[in-house]
Structure 1
Amino acid sequence: MALSPRLDVRQSQTLTLTPQLMASIRLLQLSHLELSAFVDAELMRNPLLEREDGAEGDTPLEREQPEDIDPYRDVVDHSDHLGSAVTIADSFDTDVANVFPEQSGSDSLSQASSWPEGKGMAGSEAPDLDQYVSAQVSLAEHLSEQVNLILRDPAERLIARSLIDNLDERGYLAADIEGIAGQLGAEPETVEAVLARVQGCDPVGVFARSLPECLAIQLAEKNRLDPMMANLLANLDLVASHDLLTLGRKIGADREDIADMLTELRELDPRPGRAFDAAPVQAVVPDVHVRRGNDGGWQIELNADVLPRVLVNRTYYAAVSKKTRDAGEKSFLVDCLATANWLTKSLDQRAQTILKVATEIVTQQDGFLRHGISHLRPMTLKTVATEIEMHESTVSRVTANKYIATPRGLFEMKYFFTTALNSASGGEDHSAEAVRHRIRQLIEAEKPDAILSDDTIAEILKREQGIDVARRTVAKYREGMGIASSVIRRRQKRAQMA
């Protein structure tokens, strides 16, 4: 058969990810804070979008602009007619203290009417209280002020500023002396001398290069850095492992001396720079609320406070499009209308998808909601996706950065997706999170003279609950929860009993 090029016409169906479809997919995985920022940006860019409550996007074509109201004007204008505080009190036949207990003996209304123009009461705007809130001082600013007082030589100040720039969030020096000296073209001895001088700055312990040095600086400030304490700081690994017998032999101290020195160490701050951590703490707001229903079931509803509501201002679009003659302006209006329609539709689909996924999670984890973590079922993305007839990637995006408030507490949606551990009796599988919880319970309830090893914990889980788990799995779960090994726990218990 001869091979030759030819043209064929074929008909096929393919799924094309348009830019709007890709944006809709991105909206699913945004948290409510990120979504709110995205919607605010669209409201600023698109004149056809407005909030449902009318807070933004109002136009003269739809609403009459209300008259500007000065919240203090009525008080100022009518203060002359009200008279003094004494006159008002006399009209009620009582004392001034009964009418104005917070300003007894003062003519508050006369004082209010005499406030200067532009200072809040008679001005067109109320005073901005944010202007009077002091900004939080950073660690670098706090140290720079002290360095300017400690050091007089400009070269030494330059070295000190470089040291400040190389501090991490704990207040430790993250760079080595040789590297800083090479960058500044200075001698390492000079940098070391400047470092020794600035290590006395507040908070005490900054500019340390390690934990023992940080604790040594604080102890030296308290005049408690004796040779025995210095030997203790040199063997902090034994303190971490609670091997107090070996530690006592190395530093030549008895158990009572070690207990006193450890008490002093606990009073120190291993991270002196954390007091200047300026990172804001964001409160976690749930996206979904789960409450008990009157029929014994569960009521699942979206948190309306975190759902942005936007509307398409079609009245404004119709009025402007009639007067638009330029082709570029018409194209801009058409694009704005299409974007506004897409955004409102995408936000509604996002809300419905979150509610659908949350409802299935509650259905699957009914035992957890009623009885606690020991009844948490193993669940995967595929399990939920199959039930609600969606793709696993969609469920993964929906549960990302979303939180659900339940009678058991506030949880991230990802928390309910755990792997399964086989049952030794052939029954229902067990959730990995429930197994972690049981391991924690066993360790917390163990007695000082009967510390449980990982093998013993695995045997107890298999005997009591039929959980077929290996010793290395128990060790992995224990280490993931930050629980020490049985050897270290035994030393800790003995140290507490001593």
Structure 2
Amino acid sequence: MGAVMSSMQRLELRQGQSLTMTPQLVQSIKLLQLSHAELVAYVEAELERNPLLQEAEAHGDAPPPSLADFLRAKQRYADAGGRMIPGPPPARGEAVVGASPQASASAHSELEPELEATLAGAQSLTDYLEAQLDLASADSTLREIGRHLIHNLDEAGYLTEAVQDVADRLEVSLQQAEDALKLIQALEPSGIGARNLTECLEIQLRERDRLDPAMQILLSRLDLVAKQDFAALQKLCGVDRDDLVDMLAEIRRLEPKPGLAFTAAPIDVLVPDVLVRPAADGSFIVELNPDTLPRVLLNRTYYAEVAKAVRKTEDKSFLSDCLQTASWLTRSLDQRAKTILTVATEIVRQQEGFFRKGIAALRPMTLKSVAEAIGMHESTISRVVANKAIGAGGVTHPMKFFLNAATGEGEHAAKAVRHRIRQLIAAETPDKVLSDQALAHVLKAEGIDVARRTIAKYREALRIPSSAERRRRHRFGRS
């Protein structure tokens, strides 16, 4: 007889601990990893949205805020449908959500005239080519095909679509499409509209009247140029060593990506968050850079005046939110500064040799070693070193620069070993080119025990060719 089974539902209560992160805590963590520029933009936005906050360096002749100012601020954020809670710090490269144009602009007020002039004078590659195209041909059909081609150029200036596909799409003949492409390739900058690197270089050399048969052969074998097989190139081109050297030098003077001249490159100015300077006793003084510290204060006098004047519940609620947010921001900025200084001080302590002797004395150092030394979590150290920099002796280094794993065979930082490898190879002579094994022997004699395979890995990371290729290069240059 089978057993009779029954089931029933039960309700159990269990106690446990869990970490609940408040919005303020989440924003404090994000605040820690902002760069100087991002922090400035964020603080400017908070100053704009919170009437209880003021800059510590505010001018004394500025009129004190009034109740009307408070009510206007309340109305702005009531219209936006949000409460006065800490706004999210911007993602890297993004604008501050909710910041007014005035607040966003004031973060870089000293650069405004130059920046605006640059943007006003900037011209896209497309606009530049279309302006030339209108003057280059009276054939309206060719101009229309040309415009289509221009809009199919990538940022380097190369045509990204097959000419036959263009002809098919526009329902024109292949010859018309080819003629339009020739029209584009005759425009400035030289080399524009090419379909590959060889054609780009050919266009530029043709305009210089330097596209002779030997040069055409050389351009057809750019693979041998990359391999630095100079003997094969001499034989194919039918030239001697001096002529080949001149031809290669001429190619190097050409522009392989002519369209990039019209690409606005982002300007990333590295500003030191921490300054290091030697002390009289031979140690180092580590201090925060005052120019990167946004100073904001909670205007408690203004708070007290408004608190006495407001009567409506919604006004009191908004005032309470302003007070909470302002208090949070001032505390968070102070804690952020202390944390950055603590981490930077430990970095300088562990890398004291670098600040005395340079990169050759760089020691292995990881997030874990810093975290254990100062009693913080690795994730906190990771946020601190992100987008931060240390300045010493007029040179600024990203904090991440100092994080180095050991080589694997010893106690030397990988960056320091790579630096020494570069020095040894730079000092080579044609008669003495060091193999990877020879480099390992030299380093071992200097007290750096690194395996040959590690030397090869570091050399390749430095984009330094093998000893055989370097020897061939020396032989060619000398013969």
Which residue does the alignment assign to 2:25? Answer: 21
Which residue does the alignment assign to 1:421? Answer: 407
Given that 2:133 and 2:143 are in contact with CA atoms closer than 8 Å, whether structure 1 keeps it comes out as yes
Q: Secondary structure, in 3 states, of the residue corresponding to 1:283?
A: coil
Per the TM alignment, residue 57 of structure 1 is displaced from its structure 2 partner at its CA by: 12
Given that 1:215 and 1:269 are in contact with CA atoms closer than 8 Å, whether structure 2 keeps it comes out as yes
Amino acid at match of 1:475: A
The correspondence for 2:157, drawn from 143, 166, 171, is 171
Per the TM alignment, residue 233 of structure 1 is displaced from its structure 2 partner at its CA by: 0.4
Which residue does the alignment assign to 2:433? Answer: 451
Q: Secondary structure, in 3 states, of the residue corresponding to 2:270?
A: coil
Which residue does the alignment assign to 1:359? Answer: 345
Q: Distance in 1 between matches of 2:332 and 2:161?
A: 49
Which residue does the alignment assign to 2:272? Answer: 286
Per the TM alignment, residue 187 of structure 1 is displaced from its structure 2 partner at its CA by: 4.7
Q: Distance in 2 between matches of 1:486 and 1:244?
A: 16
Kindly report which structure 2 residues correspond to 1:456-495, keeping only aligned pairs within 5 A, or say none. 456-471=438-453, 473-495=454-476
Deviation track 1:457-491 (CA, whole Å, cap 9, x = no partner) reads 223323432413242x2222112212122222222
CA 1:2–1:371 in structure 2 vs 1: closer, same or farther (change >3 Å)? farther
Amino acid at match of 1:14: S
Q: Secondary structure, in 3 states, of the residue corresponding to 1:430?
A: coil
Amino acid at match of 1:450: K
CA 1:336–1:235 in structure 2 vs 1: closer, same or farther (change >3 Å)? same
Q: Distance in 2 between matches of 1:414 and 1:496?
A: 39
Q: Tell me, yes or no, if structure 1 residue 311 matches structure 2 residue 297.
A: yes
Which residue does the alignment assign to 1:266? Answer: 252
Using the size of structure 2 for normalisation, the TM-score is 0.83
Amino acid at match of 1:42: E
Q: Tell me, yes or no, if structure 1 residue 235 matches structure 2 residue 221.
A: yes
Given that 1:138 and 1:277 are in contact with CA atoms closer than 8 Å, whether structure 2 keeps it comes out as yes
Q: Distance in 2 between matches of 1:314 and 1:169?
A: 54
Using the size of structure 1 for normalisation, the TM-score is 0.80
Q: Tell me, yes or no, if structure 1 residue 12 matches structure 2 residue 24.
A: no
Kindly report which structure 2 residues correspond to 1:99-114, keeping only aligned pairs within 5 A, or say none. none
Q: Tell me, yes or no, if structure 1 residue 371 matches structure 2 residue 352.
A: no
Q: Distance in 2 between matches of 1:307 and 1:207?
A: 48
Per the TM alignment, residue 397 of structure 1 is displaced from its structure 2 partner at its CA by: 0.6
Q: Distance in 2 between matches of 1:40 and 1:56?
A: 19
Which residue does the alignment assign to 2:97? Answer: none
Greater CA radius of gyration, 1 or 2?
A: 1
Per the TM alignment, residue 179 of structure 1 is displaced from its structure 2 partner at its CA by: 4.8
Amino acid at match of 2:249: T
Tell me whether 261-270 or 5-14 shows the greater mean CA deviation. Answer: 5-14
Q: Tell me, yes or no, if structure 1 residue 201 matches structure 2 residue 187.
A: yes
Q: Distance in 1 between matches of 2:182 and 2:133?
A: 12
Q: Distance in 2 between matches of 1:486 and 1:179?
A: 46
Q: Distance in 2 between matches of 1:439 and 1:180?
A: 51
Q: Distance in 2 between matches of 1:22 and 1:373?
A: 37
Given that 1:50 and 1:56 are in contact with CA atoms closer than 8 Å, whether structure 2 keeps it comes out as no
Amino acid at match of 1:443: I
Amino acid at match of 1:489: R
Which residue does the alignment assign to 2:261? Answer: 275
CA 1:186–1:306 in structure 2 vs 1: closer, same or farther (change >3 Å)? farther
Which residue does the alignment assign to 2:101? Answer: none
Q: Distance in 2 between matches of 1:50 and 1:151?
A: 61
Which residue does the alignment assign to 1:217? Answer: 203
Which residue does the alignment assign to 1:30? Answer: 34
Per the TM alignment, residue 48 of structure 1 is displaced from its structure 2 partner at its CA by: 1.6
Per the TM alignment, residue 15 of structure 1 is displaced from its structure 2 partner at its CA by: 1.0
RMSD across aligned C-alpha pairs, in angstroms?
A: 2.7
Given that 1:51 and 1:57 are in contact with CA atoms closer than 8 Å, whether structure 2 keeps it comes out as no
Name stretches of at least 5 consecutive residues in structure 1 with no aligned partner: 64-127
Per the TM alignment, residue 280 of structure 1 is displaced from its structure 2 partner at its CA by: 4.4
CA 1:178–1:389 in structure 2 vs 1: closer, same or farther (change >3 Å)? farther
CA 1:300–1:178 in structure 2 vs 1: closer, same or farther (change >3 Å)? farther
CA 1:205–1:29 in structure 2 vs 1: closer, same or farther (change >3 Å)? same
Deviation track 1:5-30 (CA, whole Å, cap 9, x = no partner) reads 44444443321111111111111111
Q: Secondary structure, in 3 states, of the residue corresponding to 2:387?
A: coil
Which residue does the alignment assign to 2:64? Answer: 60
Q: Tell me, yes or no, if structure 1 residue 45 matches structure 2 residue 31.
A: no
Per the TM alignment, residue 129 of structure 1 is displaced from its structure 2 partner at its CA by: 6.5
Q: Secondary structure, in 3 states, of the residue corresponding to 1:53?
A: coil
Given that 2:433 and 2:470 are in contact with CA atoms closer than 8 Å, whether structure 1 keeps it comes out as yes
Q: Distance in 2 between matches of 1:279 and 1:219?
A: 27
Tell me whether 181-190 or 271-280 shows the greater mean CA deviation. Answer: 181-190
Q: Distance in 2 between matches of 1:314 and 1:17?
A: 28
Q: Distance in 2 between matches of 1:321 and 1:276?
A: 56
Per the TM alignment, residue 267 of structure 1 is displaced from its structure 2 partner at its CA by: 2.8
Per the TM alignment, residue 352 of structure 1 is displaced from its structure 2 partner at its CA by: 0.5
The correspondence for 1:430, drawn from 404, 409, 412, is 412
Q: Distance in 2 between matches of 1:57 and 1:9?
A: 63
Q: Distance in 1 between matches of 2:40 and 2:171?
A: 49
Given that 1:286 and 1:404 are in contact with CA atoms closer than 8 Å, whether structure 2 keeps it comes out as yes
Q: Distance in 1 between matches of 2:261 and 2:152?
A: 17
Q: Secondary structure, in 3 states, of the residue corresponding to 1:290?
A: strand
Q: Distance in 1 between matches of 2:163 and 2:157?
A: 16
CA 1:389–1:195 in structure 2 vs 1: closer, same or farther (change >3 Å)? same
Given that 2:146 and 2:183 are in contact with CA atoms closer than 8 Å, whether structure 1 keeps it comes out as no
Q: Distance in 2 between matches of 1:392 and 1:132?
A: 44
Tell me whether 242-251 or 449-458 shows the greater mean CA deviation. Answer: 449-458
Per the TM alignment, residue 186 of structure 1 is displaced from its structure 2 partner at its CA by: 4.6
Q: Distance in 2 between matches of 1:496 and 1:57?
A: 71
Q: Distance in 1 between matches of 2:446 and 2:66?
A: 70
Q: Distance in 2 between matches of 1:497 and 1:30?
A: 53
Tell me whether 287-296 or 486-495 shows the greater mean CA deviation. Answer: 486-495
Q: Tell me, yes or no, if structure 1 residue 137 matches structure 2 residue 123.
A: yes
Q: Secondary structure, in 3 states, of the residue corresponding to 1:247?
A: helix
Q: Give the length in aligned residue pairs.
A: 430
Q: Distance in 2 between matches of 1:132 and 1:438?
A: 45
Name stretches of at least 5 consecutive residues in structure 2 with no aligned partner: 68-111
Which residue does the alignment assign to 2:332? Answer: 346
Q: Secondary structure, in 3 states, of the residue corresponding to 2:128?
A: helix
